[in-house]
Amino acid sequence: MKKGIKIARITVIFGLIIGGAFIGYRSFINHTTPSCFFVTADQILSKEGLSAIATFIKEETDYKKSSLAIIAYKLKAAFSHINHIAISHISKKLVINVQPHKPRFVINADKVLLESGKVKPRSLFNNDILLTIPLLTISESACHIDNLSADCFNALNTISPVLLEQYNLCWENEREVWLTDKKKPHFTILTDSHSITHQQKLDVCGILKKTIESRKDFSRRKSTVWVADIRFDNQVIIFSRGGKGHGYNTLT
């Protein structure tokens, strides 16, 4: 009889332990399972860019059950313009901070070239930020769905930022790149993917432009476009549209 009572007591105690553990586990789960999330970022992303990320989290990640690592992995896989993700679990909220790759150039007014080399829609980024970086015109043959052709991308990586402060760039192909002076649009440099980094030839173009200005050709012939072709070895050929060309040696 005593043995039966002892066994009953043990069974009751064991049941209480299991029940308490289960209640504690449910309480822990209810306390730690996020009920909502917030997406934060710096000023680089636009409202549309943030909204696209928030919609993806809500519809594709199962954020209430997934681990933080899984959520971060899915986000980076879906949004290649994201560089870094930090997720904090505060009370019952997920705070998801995203850091995008920085924009380098605006492409054809509707795309952005990022530091990572990816090309993304302009609408994803803050327009106030984009107004502070150069606008480039790139032909469709060199601008693919999410990147640029190798020749174009490599050239943009090597040219001087000062050059793009002075000239508007129009890339037709690796053999034909136009640089139009921002202040004197009647003066244009015709170059290619190799000569665009030839500083000596670019310096000669600056001298030639000043020479033309000193002759008042800009003011006398406003419709004339002067072109300095630097694609030749050791020389610059300058000509006006419809006029004869003149060669200038660039050897020192």
- Structural domains in the chain, CATH included, are 34-100 (3.10.20.310), 134-249 (3.40.50)
- Residue 34 is predicted with a pLDDT of 81
The residue to which tokens 């696209």 are assigned: 52
- Assess whether pLDDT exceeds 60 at residue 206: yes
- Residue 89 is predicted with a pLDDT of 86
- Residue 214 is predicted with a pLDDT of 83
**Of 101-105, 109-113, 191-195, 240-244, the least confident:** 240-244
DSSP label at residue 198: -
**Which residues does 100 contact at the CB level (< 8 Å), separation at least 6?**
41, 42, 44, 45, 49, 81, 82, 83, 114, 125
- Residue 167 is predicted with a pLDDT of 97
- Residue 90 is predicted with a pLDDT of 84
The residue to which tokens 């064991």 are assigned: 14
Q: Cα separation of 73 and 69, whole Å?
A: 6
Mean per-residue pLDDT of the chain: 84
Nearest Cα to Cα of residue 78 among 59, 103, 92, 105: 59
- What mean pLDDT do residues 175-180 have? 96
DSSP label at residue 45: B
235 three-state secondary structure: strand
Under the banding of pLDDT at 50, 70 and 90, the label for residue 242 is: low
Which CB contacts under 8 angstroms, 24+ apart, belong to 174-179? 174/149, 175/231
pLDDT tens string 19-73: 444 444 344 334 467 889 889 998 999 999 999 999 999 998 888 888 899 999 9
By the 8 A CB rule, do 134 and 164 touch?
yes
